[in-house]
Chain A
Amino acid sequence: MKVLMPTLLLVAMGTAQAAPIAMEDQSQLKVPGVQAAPQFVPPAESAIPDNAFGKMVREGHALFVDTRRLMPDAVGNGLNCSNCHLDQGRLAHSAPLWGAYPMYPAYRKKNDKVNTFAERIQGCFTFSMNGKPPAADSPQMTALSVYAYWLSTQAPTGVEIAGRGYPEVPKPEGGYDFKRGKQVYEEQCAICHGGNGEGQKVAGEYVMPPLWGKDSYNWGAGMHRINTAASYIKYNMPLGKPRSLSDQQAWDVAAWINRHERPQDPRLVEGSIEKTRLKFHANDGVNLYGQKVDGVLIGQGIGG
Chain B
Amino acid sequence: MKPLSHVVIGSLLILAWPSAHAADGQKIFNQGGQNPAAMACLGCHGPDGKGIAAAGFPRLAGLPAGYLSKQLHDFRNGSRKQAVMEPLAKALDDAEIEAVSAYLAKLPADAAADTRRQQIANDPVARLAIYGDWNRLIPGCVQCHGPGGSGVGEHFPPLAGQPAGYLVAQLNAWRDGSRSNDPNQLMVNVAKAMTDAEVKAVADYFAQPASQEVKP
| Chain A contact residues, CB within 8 Å of chain B | 45-46, 48, 58, 61-62, 65-66, 69-70, 82, 86-88, 90-91, 187-188, 191-192, 200, 202-203, 205, 207-208, 238-242
Contact = CB atoms under 8 A, between A and B. Distances in A.
A62 B132 contact: no
Contact of B186 (A48, A61, A91, A241): A241
Interface residues of B, number: 30
Contacts of B138: 240
A240 B131 CA distance: 12
Interface of B: 116-122, 127, 131-132, 134, 137-139, 143-144, 146-147, 150-153, 155, 183-186, 189-190, 216
B122 A87 contact: no
A48 B190 CA distance: 28
Given A86-B134, A88-B131, A238-B184, A202 B120 contact: no
Contact of B147 (A45, A58, A86, A205): A205
Contacts of B189: 240-241
A66 B183 contact: no
Nearest to B143: A239
Contact of B119 (A62, A87, A90, A207): A62
A67 to B, nearest CB: 10
Contacts of A45: 120-122, 127
Nearest to A192: B144
Given A48-B120, A62-B119, A202-B150, A240 B184 contact: no
A221 to B, nearest CB: 22
Contact of A61 (B120, B137, B139, B190): B120
A215 B183 CA distance: 26
- Give the interface centre of A61, A65, A91 by most chain B CB atoms within 10 Å: A65
A54 to B, nearest CB: 10
A202 B183 CA distance: 20
26 contacts: A46-B122, A48-B120, A62-B119, A65-B117, A65-B118, A66-B117, A69-B116, A87-B132, A88-B131, A91-B134, A191-B184, A192-B144, A202-B146, A202-B150, A205-B147, A207-B144, A207-B146, A207-B147, A208-B144, A239-B139, A239-B143, A240-B132, A241-B137, A241-B186, A241-B189, A242-B137
Given A202-B151, A207-B147, 9 more contacts: A65-B117, A87-B131, A87-B132, A200-B152, A208-B144, A238-B186, A240-B139, A241-B185, A242-B137
Contacts of B152: 200, 202, 207-208
A278 B59 CA distance: 58
B155 A191 contact: yes
A192 B137 CA distance: 18
A236 B131 CA distance: 15
Contacts of A86: 134
B190 A58 contact: no
Contacts of A241: 137, 184-186, 189
Contacts of A66: 116-118
B156 to A, nearest CB: 8
B159 to A, nearest CB: 13
Contacts of B146: 202, 207
B137 A240 contact: yes
Given A202-B152, A207-B147, A240 B190 contact: yes
A91 B139 CA distance: 11
